[in-house]
Each structure stands twice: as C-alpha cells, then as structure tokens.
Amino acid sequence: MTETNIARRRLLQRAAAGAACLAFIVSTQITQAHRAHVTLTRVTSNPRSGQWEIVHAIHYHDALRLLALRGVRDEVQPASVEGRARIALEVERSFRWFAPDGSPLKPVTVGAELEGDNLYVYQELPAPRLVGRYAVESTLMHDVFPEQLNNISVEFAVPRTTLRLSRQQTRGEFTPFSRPPH
C-alpha cells in the first residue's frame, strides 16, 4: 500500500466515523421530538342559514389523554359515542364567546365525529348583529398539556384573523364583516 492510499483510507475512516456520529445525534434528536399539542378551530359565516359555524379539530391522542385525566373509564375512547360526547362537553366548557357589549354568546353543539387522526366537534351560533370587536376565550386542555395551543381561525374577520390562545394568553378579539360578503 502506498502512502497516498493509507492517507486516503484514514480520511475515509474518519469521514465514516464522523457520519456515524452525526447520524446518531440526528436520530437522537428525532426520537426526542414530539408532536405539538395544538387544536384548530375554524369559524365561518353561513349567509344562507344566518349562522356562525364553528368546527373544532382535536388530535385523537390529545382527546384520549384528556378523557384519561378526567377519570373516564378506559373503554370510553374518542371513537365511541360517549367519548365524543364528553369531548364535546369539554369544548363547551372551555370556549367562551362574547359580543362587543360583553354579553356571552352560546354556541350549540350539533355533532362530533372522528375522521382520521382528528376528532371534530361541530357548533352553530346565530350570527350576532352587533357591530364591533368580538372576543373568544379558550382554556381547552391547558391543564392537560402546559404548552397547549388553541388556534382559532376567524375566516370572515376584517382582516382575516388567526388567534393563538395559550396558557399565557387565553383571550383573543376579532372584528367580523359588518355584512357577510357576497
């Protein structure tokens, strides 16, 4: 073996060892990574029905953890009727909506379903007529996951608004269109 071949071999061995160390570090970081605990609530206006339609999307495993922390029996899962009903009740308790004059708005839960990895809770609210800034407060799962984030996309606000509510900021405000767009 020539001196050049030996030097090349040592360089390749060091490169392989470095690549192995890098792969180990990256794989360790990936295994320590976890899915963020985030819900998404979409609020739309339906001009035909005169309703605000509210859809809450909650990841299945987060809903499962919520049920477990509430002491629900093991056989009650988010996929079961009872599990979906209990999650819907949690949504009703954890979201509070307010008109510009401070009066509470009471959405009505119209259903819940499991689709893919998410549990969806559906609510409706007669579109309020007051002009001004509306507010929403959410504490959904803040006691389950300290880093829980509840995103609320108000799709008919001016400007279009996404509120990010957390333990540190549980309240957000938005201004709906004065008249629904055509």
- pLDDT higher than 50, residue 19: no
Q: How far is CA 155 from the centre of its chain?
A: 16
From the options 2.30.30, 2.30.29, 3.40.50, 2.60.40, give the CATH code of 35-174.
2.60.40
How far is residue 5's CA from residue 43's CA, in Å, rounded to a whole number? Answer: 68
Q: Give the single-character DSSP code of 168.
A: S
The mean of the pLDDT values for the chain is 85
Of 86-95, 119-128, 157-166, where does mean pLDDT reach its minimum? 157-166
d(CA 70, CA 74): 11
CA distances from 39 to 9, 97, 165 (A): 53, 17, 10
Instruction: Give per-residue pLDDT as tens, 56-82.
Output: 999 999 999 999 999 887 778 898 999
Please enumerate in sequence order all residues whose Cβ is within 8 A of that of 175, keeping only pairs 6 or more positions apart, or say none. Answer: 132, 133, 134, 157, 158
What is the pLDDT averaged over residues 18-28? Answer: 45
Q: What's the pLDDT score for residue 113? A: 96
Nearest C-alpha neighbor of 40 from the set 106, 120, 123: 120
Give the model's pLDDT for residue 29: 43
- Residue 27 and residue 35: Cα distance in Å, rounded? 16
The residues facing 105 across adjacent strands are 97
**pTM surpassing 0.75?**
yes
